[in-house]
Amino acid sequence: MNYLLSPSLLSADFTKLDREIKICEDNNVPYLHIDVMDGMFVPNISIGVPVVKSIRKITDLVLDVHLMIVKPERYIDAFAQAGADIINIHYEATEDCVPVLKKIKALGKKSAVTIKPKTSYKEVLSLAEYVDMFLVMSVEPGFGGQSFIESTLKNVEGLAEYKAKNGLNYDIEIDGGINLDNLTRPLDAGANVIVAGSAIFGKEDIANRIQQFNEVMSKYENK
């Protein structure tokens, strides 16, 4: 199994974004996690299509675009054209995920579904055949820097068990409150894609933080 770090640009310094993305590139980061918020699905507004398009121009890293927006089906084409590699929709944000996921795949992108902390993994198992990745939120979505919700590990464990039992290949991503002190908890539960924001970009030595995350994750790669 591949273990992948996806630093969250929500916590980056946008006045130095090109420099901080370059640090990620120089330290073998595979993904960049981009949170898109509409102020309706979550109580915050972040970035949109133009910023994703601009980021695409300065990096070849995989853009892991997390749509925290109502009716994400309205914007799939736009984010695909902007350069998203993975388009991640919330289970709770649309009436029927299946046609949206099919559209994402038809556009040649990887599809993903996110669940909030209070949503059970059991509610999305029927979507397993349509996704490349499930994302488990380990904080309430909307703001960076929150504390990790321990009970969300049940969702990671449930998705990992279902994956193994049925011989499936989807990735399991976790996002929210992950730092070096608790990193092993989601890894032990079965997550293989780790989103970290303030634990990486909120520190002076971004490169060192990335290396510390990678060092821990590499131990799981070799198990």
d(CA 97, CA 202): 34
Q: Which of 96, 171, 175, 188 is catalytic?
A: 175
Active-site residue 26, yes or no? Answer: no
Active-site residue 175, yes or no? Answer: yes
Q: Which of 35, 38, 132, 171 is catalytic?
A: 35
> Nearest-CA neighbor of 36 among 111, 110, 77, 90?
90
The whole-angstrom distance between residue 155's C-alpha and the CA centroid of its chain comes to 15
73-79 LR contacts (CB < 8 Å, sep 24+): 73/99, 73/100, 73/103, 75/49, 76/100, 76/103, 76/104, 76/107, 77/107, 78/49, 79/36, 79/49, 79/52
d(CA 151, CA 185): 11
Copy the structure tokens of residue 54.
Answer: 């601009």
Phi, psi of 128 (to 5 degrees): -55, -35
Note whether 201 and 7 are within 8 A (CB): yes
Please tell me what DSSP assigns to residue 78: H
Copy the structure tokens of residue 129.
Answer: 């055949």
Residue 164 β-bridge partners: none
Active-site annotation, residues: 35, 175
